[in-house]
Amino acid sequence: MDTTVAIIGSGFSGIGLAIRLRQEGVEDFVILDRNEGVGGTWWANTYPGCACDVPSHLYSFSFAPNPDWSRTYSRQPEIRDYLARVADEFGVTPHLRLGCEVKAAEWRGDRWRLETSQGPVSAHVLVSGAGPLVEPRIPDFPGLARFEGPAFHSARWDHSVDLRGKRVAAIGTGASAIQFVPSIAPDVAQLHVFQRTPPWVMPHSSRPITPWEKRVYRRFPALQRLVRGGIYAGRELLVLGFVKHPRAMPLLERVSRRHMERHLPPELQRKARPDYTIGCKRILPSNGWYPALARDNVELVTDVIAEVRERSIVTADGAEREVDAIVFGTGFHVVDMPIGRLVRGRGGKTLEEAWNGSPRAHLGCTVPGFPNLFILLGPNTGLGHSSMVYMIESQLAYVVGALRELRSRGARTVEVRPEAAERFNAEVQRRLQGTVWNTGCQSWYLDGEGRNPTLWPDWTWRFRQRTARFDPAEYVVA
Ligand SMILES: Cc1cc2nc3c(=O)[nH]c(=O)nc-3n(C[C@H](O)[C@H](O)[C@H](O)COP(=O)(O)OP(=O)(O)OC[C@H]3O[C@@H](n4cnc5c(N)ncnc54)[C@H](O)[C@@H]3O)c2cc1C
Q: How far is the CA of 39 from the centre of ligand 1 (A)?
A: 8
**pLDDT over 90 percentage in the chain:** 95
Confidence of residue 42 (pLDDT cuts 50, 70, 90): very high
Q: Of ligand 1's atoms, which has the minimum distance to the CA of residue 103?
A: 41
Q: Of ligand 1's atoms, which has the minimum distance to the CA of residue 9?
A: 34
Average pLDDT over residues 346-359: 95
Confidence of residue 192 (pLDDT cuts 50, 70, 90): very high
To 5 degrees, how large is the angle CA 408–CA 19–CA 460?
85
Q: How far is the CA of 134 from the centre of ligand 1 (A)?
A: 6
From residue 326, give the alpha-carbon distance in Å to each of 150, 152, 172, 310, 317: 7, 7, 11, 12, 20
Q: What is the DSSP letter of 272?
A: H
Using CB distances shorter than 6 Å, the residues near ligand 1 are 8-14, 32-35, 40-41, 45, 50, 52-54, 59, 101-102, 129-134, 176, 342, 376-377, 387-388
Q: Of ligand 1's atoms, which has the minimum distance to the CA of residue 45?
A: 1
pLDDT tens-digit profile of 137-168?
999 999 999 999 999 999 999 999 999 999 99
DSSP 24-52: TT---EEEEESSSSS-THHHH---TT-B-
pLDDT tens-digit profile of 416-433?
999 999 999 999 999 999
Q: Of ligand 1's atoms, which has the minimum distance to the CA of residue 130?
A: 34
| Minimal-distance CA residue to ligand 1 atom 25 | 11
State residue 244's pLDDT score.
86
DSSP 288-345: SHHHHHTSTTEEEE-SPEEEE-SSEEEETTS-EEE-SEEEE---B--TT-THHHHEE-
Q: Of ligand 1's atoms, which has the minimum distance to the CA of residue 50?
A: 1
Q: Give, for ligand 1, the residue of 35, 134, 181 to mutate: max count of ligand atoms closer than 8 Å to Cβ.
A: 134
Q: How far is the CA of 336 from the centre of ligand 1 (A)?
A: 15
Q: How far is the CA of 131 from the centre of ligand 1 (A)?
A: 4
Q: How far is the CA of 14 from the centre of ligand 1 (A)?
A: 10
**Helix or strand (DSSP H, E) at 259:** helix 250-263
Query: Above 90 in pLDDT, residue 231?
Result: yes
Contact assessment for residue 203 and residue 285, using Cβ atoms and an 8 Å cutoff: yes
Confidence of residue 245 (pLDDT cuts 50, 70, 90): confident
Nearest residue to 57 via CA among 49, 65, 46 = 65
Please state, in angstroms and rounded to a whole number, the distance separating the CA atoms of residues 319 and 462.
51
What are the residues whose beta carbons fall under 8 Å from the beta carbon of 278, sequence distance 6 or more? 200, 249, 250, 252, 253, 256, 436
Q: How far is the CA of 40 from the centre of ligand 1 (A)?
A: 5
Q: How far is the CA of 403 from the centre of ligand 1 (A)?
A: 24
Confidence of residue 359 (pLDDT cuts 50, 70, 90): very high
| Domains of the chain (ranges, CATH numbers) | 2-135+333-477 (3.50.50.60), 144-199+282-328 (3.50.50.60)
Half-sphere exposure (Cβ direction) of 163: Cα atoms closer than 13 Å: 26
Please state, in angstroms and rounded to a whole number, the distance separating the CA atoms of residues 322 and 250.
39
Average pLDDT over residues 254-262: 97
| Minimal-distance CA residue to ligand 1 atom 7 | 52
From residue 477, give the alpha-carbon distance in Å to each of 363, 413, 469, 472, 473: 17, 6, 16, 7, 9
Q: How far is the CA of 389 from the centre of ligand 1 (A)?
A: 11
What are the residues whose beta carbons fall under 8 Å from the beta carbon of 351, sequence distance 6 or more? 339, 340, 341, 343, 345, 359, 367, 370
Q: Structure pTM?
A: 0.97
Q: How far is the CA of 43 from the centre of ligand 1 (A)?
A: 9
Residues pairing with 193 in the sheet:
170, 300
Q: Of ligand 1's atoms, which has the minimum distance to the CA of residue 14?
A: 25
Contact assessment for residue 472 and residue 405, using Cβ atoms and an 8 Å cutoff: yes
Average pLDDT, the chain: 97
Q: Of ligand 1's atoms, which has the minimum distance to the CA of residue 47?
A: 1
What are the residues whose beta carbons fall under 8 Å from the beta carbon of 225, sequence distance 6 or more? 65
